[in-house]
Amino acid sequence: MVKATFFDENIADVYSENKFIENLADSGDTISGALWEVGGDRIYCIKGAPEQILPMCKLSGDVLLATQKRYQDYYASGCTVLAFACVDASSGGLDKTIGFSYTFVGFAAFSAPLRDSVSTAVKTCRSAGVRVVMLTEENPGTAVSTGKMIGIPSDRVVTGSEIDDIRKNDKDFDCSANIYAKISSEQKLYVIDKFRKSGEVVAMTGTRPTDAE
C-alpha cells in the first residue's frame, strides 16, 4: 500500500509533461536527486528520509510542526516514508544536493502487509525460550510499530548512529535491546558478532536470501 501527501494536489499534472535530464546524488547516497525540465524551467528534485529533507526546506512554525507530525504518524502506523522537495535550478550550479533552500513537495508512505505467520512464529519462539530480536534499516518509529504488531517488545531501541558512537568511543555494547533500527548491513553483522561474543547462540532469518547467510 502506498499513501501520498502533497502540498499541491495537482502535482501529477504539473509534472506530466516533464523531461528527465540527469540523476544526481549526495556523497553519502542517503539523498538522491534528479534534474528535470518542466515547462522550460529546470527543477532539481530530491528525495530521502524526512529527517534529512525537512531541515533543507523552507518550513517553519506551525507548518513545520504539522509536517513533522504527519510523517511521525506514518512511522507510527508502520510505514516506510520518503520526503520530496525541489528547487529552481535554472541558474545551474547543482553539483551537490546541499546548500539550497528547497520547497517541500510531500511524502510517500509505503506499507507492506505482514504475513499472518510472522506473529505466530515470534510467539512460538518466545514460548520456547528463544529471544527474538529485530535488526532493520527502517526508522525507529516504524520498527517499534512493527514490533508491536508481531510481538517484539521495544523498551529499548538502539539506532545505527548509536552503534557508530559505541564503536568510535569504545563504549560497552547494549545487548539488552530487542530492536536495532536504522542500521546498515555492516552494522547488523556487528550486532550479531556482539551477541555471539556475549555467549548467545544466534540464528538469523530475513526477507532476502543474504539475510540468512
pLDDT by residue (tens digit) across 54-88? 988 888 889 999 999 999 999 888 888 999 998 88
pLDDT band at 94 (very low <50, low <70, confident <90, very high): low
Mean pLDDT for 131-145 is 91
Mean pLDDT for 170-191 is 91
Of the CA atoms within 13 Å of residue 82, those in its CB half-sphere come to: 16
Q: Extract the C-alpha cell encoding 128.
A: 520456547
Let me know: does 151 contact 119? Beta carbons within 8 Å: yes
All structural domains of the chain, each given as residue ranges with its CATH number in brackets, are: 2-110 (3.40.1110.10), 116-207 (3.40.50.1000)
pLDDT of residue 92: 60
Mean pLDDT for 131-138 is 92
pLDDT band at 2 (very low <50, low <70, confident <90, very high): very low
pLDDT of residue 26: 45
pLDDT of residue 204: 87
Decide if pLDDT at 199 tops 70: yes
Mean pLDDT for 8-18 is 48
* pTM, to two decimals: 0.69
Cα dist. 174→39, 108, 167, 181, 195 in Å?
54, 33, 12, 13, 9
pLDDT of residue 111: 82
Decide if pLDDT at 21 tops 70: no
Percentage of the chain beyond pLDDT 70 is 78
Q: What are phi and psi of 179, to 5 degrees?
A: -130, 125
Instruction: Compute the residue count for the chain.
Output: 213
Q: Can you point out the beta strands (E) in the chain?
A: 2-6, 19-25, 32-38, 41-48, 80-88, 103-110, 134-135, 157-159, 179-181
Most confident of 16-20, 25-29, 35-39, 146-150: 146-150
